[in-house]
Amino acid sequence: MALRDIVKDGNPVLRKKSREVEVFDEKLGKLLDDMHETMIAADGCGLAAPQVGLLKRVAVVEVDGDYFEFVNPVIISQSGSQQGPEGCLSVPGRSEEVIRPYKITVIFQDRKGNKLKGTFEDFLARACCHEFDHLDGILYYDKAVKK
Of 44 and 101, nearer to Co ion (C-beta) is 44
Strands 115-121 and 46-48: unpaired
Among 88, 104, 129, 135, binds Co ion (CB under 5 A): 88
When the beta carbons of 7 and 24 are compared against Co ion, the nearer one is 7
d(CA 115, CA 126): 22
- Contact segment (CB under 5 A) with Co ion among 19-27, 58-66, 87-95, 109-117 equals 87-95
Q: Is the dihedral of CA 35, 36, 38, 42 positive or negative?
A: positive
Residue 131: active-site member: yes
- Please spell the DSSP secondary structure of 8-35, one letter per residue: PTT-GGGGSPPBPP---SHHHHHHHHHH
- 49 lies in the binding site for Co ion (CB under 5 A): no
31 binds Co ion (CB under 5 A): no
CA separation, residue 99 to residues 47, 84, 119, 128, 136 (Å): 19, 7, 18, 13, 18
Query: Which region among 21-29, 62-70, 74-82, 83-91 touches Co ion (by CB under 5 A)?
Result: 83-91
CA dist., res. 90 & res. 8, Å (int):
4
CB of 25 to Co ion, least distance (A): 26
Nearest distance in Å: CB 87, Co ion: 8
Residues of this chain that interact with Co ion (CB under 5 A) are 88
Known catalytic residues? 131
